[in-house]
Structure 1
Amino acid sequence: MIRDLTPSQPLPRSLSPLPDEILPGYLMRLAHRAGTTVDEIAHRTGLRGPRVRNPMLLSYLHTLDETRLQALAEATRLTPAEARSLLLGPLAARYGPLDPHYTRRATPMRVINNNPWVWTTTWRYCPQCLAGDPDDAIQQLHGGAWRRHWRLPPVFSCLTHRRLLRHLCPGCHTLVATAEMIDRTDEDDLHPTQCRRRGCGTQLADPQGHAEPGLDASTRRVLDRLQRRFARLLSPSAPPTVRSTGWPIPAAQYFMDLRTVTALTLLSWPAARPLCATPLLAQVLDAEAAWRHREYERLLHGAKKHSSQAFLRPAVDALAGAAAWDVADRLLRLNEAQSHEALTPLTETAASRATALASYLRHLPGSSLPLQLALTPRAPRGPGRRWQANALDERDRWRTQTAAGPVAIA
C-alpha cells in the first residue's frame, strides 16, 4: 500500500504507458501494480484532492494544466511528453470534434462535456487487445491498454484482430460505462479489465476471441476498408488535408463533415439506401433510422428539447455506426457536382420532415464551406441567396490559396 506517501514523493512502482493508452486505463493498471486503489493513485499523482469526494474531472481526459501534468509525470517517473500522450487533446490535430476551433468551445471542459462525438463515460473495447501481449509479463498481470482511439466514435473496429469493438459487458449485458472518469475507485481488488458496474466485475478481456456472428464476408471487407481509411485520416503522418465534396479541407474538419452528413442521412432515410454497400448494412440502417425517428419524436415533445441529438449523436453500436459512416463517407468522396446532385434528395427529404432541423444541419458549426455549399439549393431565396454569393466568393479565394498545396487524401 502507498497510503503513507506524501504527494511530493514518486510512487515506489510505476509503469511505462502502452501505445495509445488513455489516462483512466493507465491509472487502473498503475493501481493494480501498486496493490492499492485508484483513489490513492489519483491523489498521489495530483489528479484528485486529499478528500476522496474530490472528483477527477472529465476534462482531464482532454488536457491537463502544466501543474497537474508535471505532478503526474514526476509521481510516475514519466516524461511530460509520455504523460501528455495519455490524453485525448493531442488527437485534436486530426480529429475535429476534439478541437476547440471546430467545436467552438473555448475550454477543454466545454470540448469534453456534452460532446457526443467523444466517448467520455462510454468504454468500447477489443477483448483481445485488453488481454494484452502474451509475451509481455507486465501485460499478462495487469492487462493490455484501454486505447485513446477507442474513445473516438469513428474507431469502430480493431484492425489487428479484425473484430468490431464491443460496448456491452458479456456478464451484466449492459453498456460498459462509468458515471465519472473511473468508477469504483475505492476498491483495491478490481482488475483493470473488469467491468466496473456495481455488482458485476465480469472480466472483459478475452485472449482467444470469438468469431462475430452474422457478419458476412463482403460486409467485413467494407468495414475493414472504411476503418483503414479512418485510421489513415487520424494518423499524424498522413497528409494534412482530405477531399470533402471535391475540395481539400483539413483532415480534422473531415470528421465534422462526416458528423453532418451522417445526421442528414439518418434524418432523410431511406433516401440514401441505394448507397449501402451490402444488404446487411442496409438492414442495419433501416433499424437504426427507425429508432432515431422514434427518439426524435420523444425528444421533440420532452421537457428538454435537444431533439437534434437524435440524429447527431453517433451510434454506440459499432456495426450501426459503421453502416451510417460508410454511406456518409461515400457521399463526401464525390466531386463537387456529384455531391450536390447526390445530397439534394437527402436535403429535400429532410426539409419535408423537419424544416428547422434540416436548415440547422446545412450550416452546422464546424462543417466545411464546400459541404455547406453542396447542401445549399442551387437557387436559394432571401438571405440564403446572399450567403451563397459570399460563400462562393470565399470558395474562389480558397481555390487560389490551395491550388499549390499538398496532395489531399482522396
Structure 2
Amino acid sequence: MTGPLLSLPLIPLPLRLPPIEGEGFPSYLDRIVAQLPLPVALTVLLYRLGLQESERGAEARAHTGVSLSAQQLRNAAFTLRLPEERLRAMLLTHFDGVAVDFRGLDPDDPDSARRVGLREWAYLVGSHYCPACLAEDQAWRLAWRLPFSFACVRHGALLRDTCPRCGRRAGNLREEYGGGPAYATQKRQPGFCMNPPATGEAGVGRGARFCGQDLTAVPGLSLRRAPRLLKTQARLDAALEARHDPVSGLPALAFFQALRSLCALLLYVAEPGDLGPLPPKVLDAFGRHVEERQHRLAQRQSERRPQGGRSGPLMRFYGATPTSAALMAALLPWAAEALTPAQPGTLNVPELAERLRPLVERLRARGQGHLRMVAKDFNFQGPLLDAFHAVLSGRAGFDHRLGLLSPYAPARRAYDFTVDDVPALLWEDEFRAHFAPLFEDSDLGERTSRAVCSLALVRLSALLPWEAACAALELPATYACGACNKAMGVLSSAQTEEAFARALHGLAARLEAQPARANYRARREALRDLRAVAVTARELSLAGSFVNPGKAAARHQHSAAFVWEQITGGDWRGAPAMREREKRTASAGELYGRFLDEKLPALRPFLLEQAAALAAGVDPGHPRLTRGLES
C-alpha cells in the first residue's frame, strides 16, 4: 500500500492547537480531539488527516507516531495547519541518526517497523511518563519513548513506566494492534490511562471501557537527593538536543550506541555493588533484575545436555529493550561515567579499558567460553571496542605496569608521536645507552631486544596490542606472543621493570620533543624494490685495501640489505633483497654475516654515502640515518 485512498478532500481543521515543546505526535492528536467542540473519535481525525482509509477502528494506523511517508506528512501538515518541519519533529524518526538507527524503516510497511523495533532501543509501543509534566500540560514527550530517558530533570523525579491500576505499559498504544492507538473510537482523555483495564475487569464490545487511571495523580520518586542521576539525565538530554556529546567528543549516535552496549554488558554481568551510589528503589530494580538473571543462568545450567550441546534459553540483553525506567536509572549513570574522560573532548582508551576490566574479569570468571565474541554480542564499536581488546590482549596490564597508566607516564596520555616515527629496531645508540644493560643476562639477542623496545615505544604513541604493534612496524606476528612476552618475563624476573619503564618514558619524551622526525613507514614504502646496490671492482679498489670481490649478484644484494637497514632502521631479514635470497638458500643469514665481517669494513664509507643520498630522496624532511635519535 502506498498510502490511504481518500474519498474526501483534505480540509484544514478549524482548531489550530500549538504543540507543546518536545511533544510526540500521538499525544498532540489526543489533545486536539479532546478540545474539539463536538465529541469526535480519534479514528475520524486520522481519516481526515489522510492517515487511514476509513473511520473504522480496525483501520487505525499501526506504530502511531513512529514515522510518516512524505505524502502523509504533507496531508497532515496541511490539515493541522502546521509546518512540515514542526510535524516531523514530533515523530520518533526525529531521533534517527541521533539515538537510534532507523535505516530500513518504511512508513508504508508495518513489518519494517517491527524489524527496526527488534533491532533498536526505542519504544515503538509504550512510553515512560512524568506525572508532573502531564499535570501541567497533558503532553506526552517524544523523548519518553527512548530508554535513555529515565528521569525528568525539570521536576527532579524518576519517570514512571506502567499504570499502577491496570499494570500495563503506559503510552495508550496497543501492542496487540502493532502499536496502534488504544480505544481509538472513544473520546480521548489526555492525562488518563487508555489501556485496557486489568485482567478480568474489561467490558465486551461497545461496552468495553479503558482503564481510566488519572496518571497525573500517580506518585513519583523524587531524585532531588540523587544529583548523580539528574546530572546523567541532563547530559543525555543535551546530547539529544545538540546531536553531539561534548564530554566524550562522540557524535550523538555513536554516544548512545556506546551507552547501549555498556548497559547491555551491565545487564549481563554486573552486580549491584558495581553501579555506584543509587537511591534504594532504583537499586532494588537492579537487584530484581540480578535475581531474574541468576534464575535464567541456573535454568540454562540445568537444561544443559551433556552430549546434545544445548544450553537452555539464551540471554539476549543487547537486543531486548529494557522497559523499566528504574532499571535504566541504575545502569546509565555508570555507563555515562565510563564514557567521561579525564580530559573532556576525547575518549581515552586506556582509561576506558580500566573501567571495563572488572566486568571483563567477571565474564572470564563465569567461564565464558567465547570471551572474544562478547564484542560482537554487545556491538562494541570505536573506542569501546579498542578498550575491550586492550583488556583481552593484556595490553592494559602493560599500560598499568609500564605504559600509559603507570606512575612513569607524567600525563597518563599517549605521547605526541606516531608509529611512523619509530624504526622496527630501536636506534642502536639509544638501545646500548639505556636498554642493553637490562637484557644482558638474558638469552635475547640484541636485534630481538631492540625490536621489543621499539614495539613498547609504539605502545606509548598508539593504543595498540602487541600484535597490532608488530603489524605497524612490519615485524613478524610471532614477536607478540614470543619475544615480547619473553622480554617482559625477563624484566619481571630481574626486577628491572622500573628501570625499563623509566628508560622507555624518557625516550618517548625525547622523541616527542624532536622538531623533525624520520618517517620510517615512508622509507620502507619507498624502498620496497631496493634489491641491489651496485658495488663494482672500482669501489672495492677505492676502499683502500684488498677485498675478495666474490660474486657480484650476492655482493649487490648484501649491500642493498645493509643500505636498507641504515635508512629504515629495520631488521635485515625484512629487506627486499634478502627476501629474494631466502627463496633460494637457507644460509642467507650466514652469508650476510660473512659479508658484514669480510667486506663491510672496507665498503662502509661508500655504502653509508649511498644510504645518505637515498635517505635524502625518500625522506627529504629528515634526510638522516638511523643510528641514534638525534644522529
Question: TM-score, normalised to structure 2's length?
Answer: 0.51
Structure-to-structure mapping, 1:41-52, within 5 angstroms? 41-50=45-54, 52=57
Q: Could you tell me which residue of structure 2 aligns to residue 187 of structure 1?
A: 186
Q: Could you tell me which residue of structure 2 aligns to residue 222 of structure 1?
A: 228
Q: Whose Rg is larger? A: 2
Match of 1:53 among 58, 66, 69: 58
Cα distance, 1:255 vs. partner? 0.8
Equivalenced residue count is 358
Q: Could you tell me which residue of structure 2 aligns to residue 83 of structure 1?
A: 87
Structure-to-structure mapping, 1:345-384, within 5 angstroms? 345-353=358-366, 355=368, 359-363=372-376, 367-377=380-390, 380=393
Would you say 1:268 and 2:278 are equivalent positions? no
Cα distance, 1:68 vs. partner? 0.4
154 and 204 in structure 1: CA distance in 2 versus 1, 3 angstrom threshold: farther
Cα distance in 1 between the residues matched to 2:215 and 2:287: 32
Q: Could you tell me which residue of structure 1 aligns to residue 131 of structure 2?
A: 127
Cα distance in 2 between the residues matched to 1:299 and 1:75: 55
Q: Could you tell me which residue of structure 1 aligns to residue 145 of structure 2?
A: 151
Cα distance in 1 between the residues matched to 2:189 and 2:279: 40
CA contact (8 A) 1:63 1:89 kept: yes
Larger RCO (CA under 8 A, 6+ residues apart): 1
Cα distance in 1 between the residues matched to 2:163 and 2:180: 18
Cα distance, 1:22 vs. partner? 0.7
Cα distance, 1:98 vs. partner? 3.9
378 and 194 in structure 1: CA distance in 2 versus 1, 3 angstrom threshold: closer
Cα distance in 1 between the residues matched to 2:234 and 2:27: 24
CA contact (8 A) 1:167 1:317 kept: yes
SS in 1 for 2:96: helix
Cα distance in 1 between the residues matched to 2:183 and 2:299: 33
Q: Could you tell me which residue of structure 2 aligns to residue 330 of structure 1?
A: 337
Cα distance in 1 between the residues matched to 2:131 and 2:279: 28
Cα distance, 1:38 vs. partner? 0.9
Residue type of the alignment partner of 2:144: W
Q: Could you tell me which residue of structure 1 aligns to residue 448 of structure 2?
A: none
Q: Could you tell me which residue of structure 2 aligns to residue 341 of structure 1?
A: 354
Q: Could you tell me which residue of structure 2 aligns to residue 204 of structure 1?
A: 214
Residue type of the alignment partner of 2:92: L
Cα distance, 1:251 vs. partner? 2.0
Unpaired runs of at least 5, structure 1: 134-143, 394-410
SS in 2 for 1:43: helix
Cα distance in 2 between the residues matched to 1:294 and 1:328: 25
256 and 211 in structure 1: CA distance in 2 versus 1, 3 angstrom threshold: closer
181 and 13 in structure 1: CA distance in 2 versus 1, 3 angstrom threshold: same
226 and 216 in structure 1: CA distance in 2 versus 1, 3 angstrom threshold: closer
Cα distance in 1 between the residues matched to 2:285 and 2:232: 16
Cα distance, 1:352 vs. partner? 4.6
SS in 2 for 1:57: coil
Match of 1:317 among 313, 324, 336: 324
CA contact (8 A) 1:124 1:176 kept: yes
Match of 2:27 among 25, 28, 42: 25
49 and 339 in structure 1: CA distance in 2 versus 1, 3 angstrom threshold: same
CA contact (8 A) 1:24 1:181 kept: no
Q: Could you tell me which residue of structure 2 aligns to residue 176 of structure 1?
A: 170
Structure-to-structure mapping, 1:229-308, within 5 angstroms? 229-236=235-242, 240-242=244-246, 244=248, 248-270=249-271, 273-278=273-278, 280=280, 282-295=283-296, 307-308=314-315
CA contact (8 A) 1:155 1:227 kept: yes
SS in 1 for 2:121: coil
Question: TM-score, normalised to structure 1's length?
Answer: 0.75
SS in 2 for 1:376: helix
Cα distance in 1 between the residues matched to 2:313 and 2:83: 42
Cα distance in 1 between the residues matched to 2:337 and 2:167: 33
CA contact (8 A) 1:126 1:165 kept: yes
Residue type of the alignment partner of 1:342: R
282 and 174 in structure 1: CA distance in 2 versus 1, 3 angstrom threshold: closer
CA contact (8 A) 2:156 2:224 kept: no
Residue type of the alignment partner of 2:189: H
Would you say 1:16 and 2:50 are equivalent positions? no
Identical-residue share of aligned pairs (%): 23
CA contact (8 A) 1:167 1:176 kept: yes
160 and 217 in structure 1: CA distance in 2 versus 1, 3 angstrom threshold: closer
CA contact (8 A) 2:149 2:233 kept: yes
CA contact (8 A) 1:253 1:367 kept: no
Cα distance, 1:284 vs. partner? 4.2
C-alpha distance after superposition, 1:20-59 (max 9, x if no partner): 111111121122223211111111111112254234132x
Cα distance, 1:182 vs. partner? 1.2
150 and 295 in structure 1: CA distance in 2 versus 1, 3 angstrom threshold: farther
Q: Could you tell me which residue of structure 2 aligns to residue 398 of structure 1?
A: none
Cα distance in 2 between the residues matched to 1:39 and 1:387: 63
C-alpha distance after superposition, 1:164-196 (max 9, x if no partner): 1111213223332522231110112x3122211
74 and 283 in structure 1: CA distance in 2 versus 1, 3 angstrom threshold: closer
Cα distance, 1:348 vs. partner? 3.2
223 and 348 in structure 1: CA distance in 2 versus 1, 3 angstrom threshold: same
Further displaced range: 349-358 or 149-158: 349-358
Residue type of the alignment partner of 2:81: R
SS in 2 for 1:323: helix
Further displaced range: 42-51 or 150-159: 42-51
Cα RMSD after superposing both structures: 3.5
CA contact (8 A) 1:276 1:282 kept: no
Unpaired runs of at least 5, structure 2: 1-5, 198-209, 305-309, 342-347, 395-463, 473-631
298 and 52 in structure 1: CA distance in 2 versus 1, 3 angstrom threshold: farther
CA contact (8 A) 2:275 2:330 kept: no
SS in 2 for 1:132: helix
C-alpha distance after superposition, 1:332-375 (max 9, x if no partner): 22432122122123123225547378544413576431101111
296 and 91 in structure 1: CA distance in 2 versus 1, 3 angstrom threshold: farther
Cα distance in 2 between the residues matched to 1:388 and 1:52: 62
Would you say 1:118 and 2:128 are equivalent positions? no
25 and 379 in structure 1: CA distance in 2 versus 1, 3 angstrom threshold: closer
Residue type of the alignment partner of 1:167: D
Residue type of the alignment partner of 1:166: R
C-alpha distance after superposition, 1:91-143 (max 9, x if no partner): 23431x2453xxxx46563474224511121221111211234xxxxxxxxxx
